[in-house]
Amino acid sequence: MAALRKIIIRLLLVTSPCWVFCSYLEFKLNALENSYSYKMNQFIVNEKATELLVLGNSEMLKGLNPSYLSSRGFNMAHVSQTYSIDEKILAMYLDSMPNLHTVILGLSYLSFGENLETGEEAWRTAFYEKHYKLNLNQGFELKNYAAIFRYTPYESLKIFLSGFKTNLTKGFQPNGYLLVPANEQGSLSDENAMARATAHTAGLKESNKQKSTEALGQIIQMLAQKNISLWLVTPPLMKNYKSNLNEKWLSENQNLLDSMIKKNTSKIFVVSPETMNYPVFAESDFSDVNHLNEHGAQKFTHYIDSLIKIQVTQ
């Protein structure tokens, strides 16, 4: 027994530098502000006064800037955020927004076929659990308890080597919107549009549709109970991206949406290029083939705001 004790003590002494480094890294990573902690901190400041809430994925995150809304708005959309996450955010924070009268929810090509919890970006779920206090029922996972695993060991080491000067909130505004400067434009080529559309289609799964439709149904019910309007909005897309989307998925998405709306009599408004006359968006309005930049977001937000104001006056 004494020999085993000595072995354990020696092992601890030999590995102590590693444990000290990991403890230091964990402490510094937890103190580092990221986009999720920043958005939640800003939301807490604004939640009581929020009249309009934006939800959805990165197309909404970069596409709607609450600064150009007539109502006091906050953008709670995020990268790869799905309806099941949107639903949990509303369930958690709806009662803390007493002045909320409108929710704008992104209606994307990806909306019904993706599941963040099981997809390629499932690592993001740990940030929702930690900073948004959402319970995603994923069981025990190290990333929910250790920042090193939330960021992944590789990214954690990169952040360490940068002297913890990595900017994880670049472009995020106090109203939750992610501003992409007009001079930071990615490739808008036909080749890139085809590759991006193909990759997005490859990530869609039939098995995710039930979870997405159930989550959207819960969102509709929650808002109807509080007499809050729901606007399902499709942001503009580059034509070369849109032309490469799978027609079968587009048709099935539309059928799902139609059936959801028919089942409900609450205040639901659908805004898409197929149903409305959108303003003309030039290449200079896009940061990439399916995201707007700061100029495009300003134009699109003004357009959506005008539609909401018309509906309010009717």
pLDDT for residue 26: 84
The amino acid at 189:
S
Phi and psi angles of residue 270, each rounded to the nearest 5 degrees, phi first: -105, 125
Instruction: Give the whole-angstrom CA distance, residue 254 versus residue 260.
Output: 10
**Closest C-alpha to 252, from 293, 213, 202, 292:** 213
Distance between start and end Cα atoms, the chain: 83
Residue 122 lies in a domain: no
DSSP 15-69: HHHHHHHHHHHHHHHHHS-BHHHHHHHHHHHHGGG--EEEESSHHHHTT--GGG-
Instruction: Give the whole-angstrom CA distance, residue 312 versus residue 314.
Output: 6
pLDDT for residue 243: 96
Residue 21 lies in a domain: no
Assess contact for 234 and 107: CB atoms under 8 A: yes
Q: Whose structure tokens read 């290449």? A: 283
Phi and psi angles of residue 10, each rounded to the nearest 5 degrees, phi first: -65, -40
How confident is the model over 157-201, as pLDDT tens digits? Answer: 899 889 989 999 999 999 999 999 999 999 999 999 999 999 999
User: How many domains does the chain divide into?
Assistant: 1
Strands 73-75 and 102-106, how do they pair?
Answer: unpaired
Q: Whose structure tokens read 């919890």? A: 117
**Domain that residue 211 falls in:** 50-116+175-313
Residue 260 lies in a domain: yes
pTM for the structure as a whole: 0.92
Burial letters for 191-203: b for 16+ Cβ neighbours within 10 Å, e otherwise? ebbeebbeebbeb
Residue 84 lies in a domain: yes
The amino acid at 247:
E
Residue 290's CATH number? 3.40.50.1110
Residue 43 lies in a domain: no
- Over its length of 314 residues, how does the chain's per-residue pLDDT go in tens digits? 666 666 666 665 666 678 787 888 888 888 999 999 999 999 999 999 999 999 999 999 999 999 999 999 999 999 999 999 999 999 999 999 999 999 999 999 999 999 998 888 889 999 999 999 998 877 677 888 888 888 888 898 899 889 989 999 999 999 999 999 999 999 999 999 999 999 999 999 999 999 999 999 999 999 999 999 999 999 999 999 999 999 999 999 888 888 887 777 668 899 999 889 999 999 999 999 999 999 999 999 999 999 999 886 55
Residue 63 lies in a domain: yes
Residue 145 lies in a domain: no
Q: Which residues, 6 or more positions from 67, have their beta carbon under 8 angstroms from its beta carbon?
A: 173, 175, 177, 301
Residue 179 lies in a domain: yes
